[in-house]
Chain A
Amino acid sequence: MELLKLLSTNEIAAQVITFLVLLFLMKRFAWKPFFKVLDDRKERIASEFKKIDDTKNEVAGLRADYETRISLIEDEARKRIEQAIDEGRKAAELIRQGAREEGETILAKAQESIKQEAAQAEEELKDRIVDITIAIASKVVEEKLTFEDDRKIVGRFIKELEKK
């Protein structure tokens, strides 16, 4: 009961009112505005982070898109190069084949002409032999020489023939 003497009803009431006043003031000046500021900031940070994430995703999407595009372009380029190489190869082949064919025809023509010339020469030779033989025969007949003379004449003709 000694303890109870420490208490004063008036003071308790006054202190309750004081505290309630402080509570009211703090609610108005501290808690409400600061909660609002903190919540606003939290919200803003969250939204900024979301924005950053969105942008990141967008960038990643764009990058993937570009990468596929680049790979497509590379494929296309490779294909074109291969195609060009093929075409080149084909053209070379064609040229080579043409050259070969031309060469063959030239060769064939040359052989043909050689053959013709050889045949012609042979003909000419034959003609000459005939002419010579006739000439020899006519000379032999003309001169009616001795056997010795005949041999000399024939020998001379043969020598002439060799000289030719």
Chain B
Amino acid sequence: MHEASVNKTAELPNIVSLIAERIKGTSLAAHLITWENLIFSLAIVALIALLARSASRKPSLIPGRLQSFFEMFVSGIDDFVCGIIGPKGREYVPFIGTLFIYILCMNLIGIVPLMKSPSTSWSTTLALAICVFVYVQYVGFKELGLRGYIDHALGRPRGIIAFSVFIPIMMFILHVVSELVRPISLSLRLRSNIWGDDMLLAVFAGYGLPAVPLLIFNSLMAIVVSLVQALVFCLLTTIYFTLVLTHEESEHNAR
């Protein structure tokens, strides 16, 4: 709670918190404060969806400006994912690409005055990491089957008595722990980086005019960090998919 309260006091005001301040004491204000991040998330969702809709309304072979931007984005993500996973990666491109653009927008919106990055909240990033976790496990089950999935978790090599019982059990535990830790590390990394950046902006803003150069510099840094963190999140997600899928491929090759 302590960190949360520090969090609240240090943050720059945003449009939702200002409205809540205006109608202080009402239940709506409390709701606004509680769902602050969600409101920004929904705004971003609406923005992205609207842009995508208007870009793809009349897709033509000779694209307009918005369409070519989206095409560049789509083919960029497609190259990125298929470059790592292989031709099978096409299936996961929409998931990873959506994650990327969503996280990027959430990160960047914090730089805009009177806006807030929903990704400064661990709940937001954990929700995304949980989606990744569930989808990766689902793909694992789907591609490997229950037996294959457990076999995958037991690890290699196996054969001699110690290798056939003891080490696989240890490997299984290790595997489960590493799988469970992934969403936590994934979400905390993203949340902490963006939160740190926003805090820095808030602190510099607190110094007033003399800190303006620092503020500008840090805003530029925040853009870079936003991009890098979105990339890292998606890169790791892609690697999780690759780990599940390559196992299946090597199994096929072994057979």
Interface residues in chain A, defined as those with a beta carbon under 8 Å from any beta carbon in chain B: 2-3, 5-8, 11-16, 18-23, 25-27, 29-31, 33-38, 40-41, 44
A-B pairs, top 9 by smallest CB distance, nearest first, are A15-B127, A11-B123, A30-B52, A33-B56, A31-B94, A29-B52, A25-B49, A34-B74, A37-B59
A23 to B52, CA, bound (A): 12
Asked whether A7 lies within 8 Å of B126 as measured between CB atoms, the reply is: yes
CB contact between A6 and one of B3, B53, B55, B70 (< 8 Å): that residue: B3
Is B1 a contact of A5 with CB atoms below 8 Å?
A: yes
- Residue on B with the closest CB to A14? B38
Are A25 and B45 in contact, with the CB atoms below 8 A? yes
Q: Known contacts A8-B123, A11-B124, A30-B55: does B130 contact A21 (CB below 8 Å)?
A: no
Do the beta carbons of B49 and A26 come within 8 Å of each other? yes
Name the one of A2, A20, A30 contacting B70, with C-beta atoms under 8 angstroms.
A30
Instruction: Please list 22 pairs of residues, one from A and one from B, whose beta carbons are closer than 8 Å in the complex, sorted by A's number.
Output: A3-B122, A6-B121, A7-B126, A11-B35, A11-B127, A12-B127, A18-B42, A22-B48, A22-B49, A23-B94, A25-B49, A30-B94, A30-B97, A31-B98, A33-B59, A34-B55, A34-B56, A34-B59, A34-B74, A36-B59, A38-B74, A44-B61
Q: Which of B4, B63, B102, B122 contacts A19 (CB 8 A)?
A: B102
Q: A12-B126, A41-B61 are in contact. Are A35 and B74 (CB under 8 A)?
A: yes
B binding-site residues for A, Cβ under 8 Å: 1-4, 7, 34-35, 37-38, 41-42, 45, 48-49, 52-53, 55-56, 59-61, 63, 67, 70-71, 74-75, 78, 93-95, 97-99, 101-102, 118, 121-124, 126-128, 130-131, 188
Q: Using a Cβ cutoff of 8 Å, how many contacts connect chains A and B?
A: 121
Given A11, A13, A30, A40, which contacts B121 in the complex, CB threshold below 8 Å?
A: A11
CA distance A34 to B128 in the complex (A): 24
Q: How far apart sit A19 and B37, CA to CA, in the bound complex (Å)?
A: 13
A15-B124, A19-B127, A40-B61 known; A34-B71 Cβ under 8 A: yes
Give the distance in Å from the alpha carbon of A23 to the alpha carbon of B98 in the complex. 6
Across-interface contacts of A36 in B (CB, < 8 A):
59
Is the beta-carbon distance between A38 and B75 smaller than 8 angstroms?
Answer: yes
Among B7, B71, B94, the residue within 8 A (CB) of A37 is: B71
For B7, what are the chain A residues with a Cβ–Cβ distance below 8 Å?
6
Measured CA separation A90–B7 after assembly (Å): 118
Task: Specify which of B53, B61, B102 is in contact with A22 (CB 8 Å cutoff).
Answer: B102
**CB closest residue in chain B, given A35:** B74
Give the docked Cα–Cα distance between A27 and B126 (Å): 22
Query: In the bound complex, do residue B35 and residue A14 qualify as a contact, i.e. CB atoms below 8 Å apart?
Result: yes
Q: CB-nearest residue of chain B relative to A44?
A: B61
What CA separation (Å) do A23 and B1 show in the bound complex? Answer: 32
Asked whether B52 lies within 8 Å of A25 as measured between CB atoms, the reply is yes
Contacts of A13 in B (CB 8 A): 127
Q: Report which of B3, B71, B98 forms a contact with A26, defined as CB distance below 8 A.
A: B98
Q: When the two chains form their complex, are residues B48 and A26 in contact, meaning their CB atoms are under 8 A apart?
A: yes
Tell which of A13, A16, A29 has the most Cβ of chain B within 10 Å. A29
Nearest CB of A to B194, in Å: 14
B123 / chain A contacts, CB cutoff of 8 Å: 6-8, 11-12, 15
